[in-house]
């Protein structure tokens, strides 16, 4: 089983996703963030999907409605 680590940026981006969706629907925002969290936990059991390692670092979390260029290119 792998350890999952999230950078502070990933945590902040997850909060940004919540805040963006919560403007219209806080309940939906909580469901989306919870769903992202649960999906990332799958990596703990199936860490062989990518490069074999005992640690998984989540560097960022993106929502399709976000302006990803803002986060990637400053």
Written as six digits, the tokens of 71 are: 């986060």
Written as six digits, the tokens of 72 are: 């990637």
Written as six digits, the tokens of 26 are: 């806080």
* d(C-alpha 66, C-alpha 50), whole Å: 25
pLDDT for the residue 25: 97
Phi, psi of 14 (to 5 degrees): -65, -40
pLDDT for the residue 70: 72
pLDDT more than 90, % of the chain? 30
Angle between helix axes 26-45 and 8-22 (nearest 10 degrees) is 150
Global pTM exceeds 0.85: no
pLDDT for the residue 45: 74
17-51 pLDDT, tens digit per residue, is: 899 899 999 999 999 999 988 888 887 777 666 66
pLDDT for the residue 41: 83
Long-range CB pairs of 23-26, under 8 A, 24+ apart, other chains included: none
């Amino acid at each position: 089983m792998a350890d999952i680590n999230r950078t502070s940026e990933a945590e902040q981006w997850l909060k940004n996703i919540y805040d963006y969706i919560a403007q219209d629907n806080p309940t939906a925002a909580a469901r989306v963030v919870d769903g992202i969290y649960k999906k990332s936990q799958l990596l703990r059991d199936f860490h062989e999907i990518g490069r074999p390692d005992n640690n998984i670092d989540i560097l960022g979390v993106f929502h399709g409605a976000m302006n990803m260029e803002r986060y990637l290119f400053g």
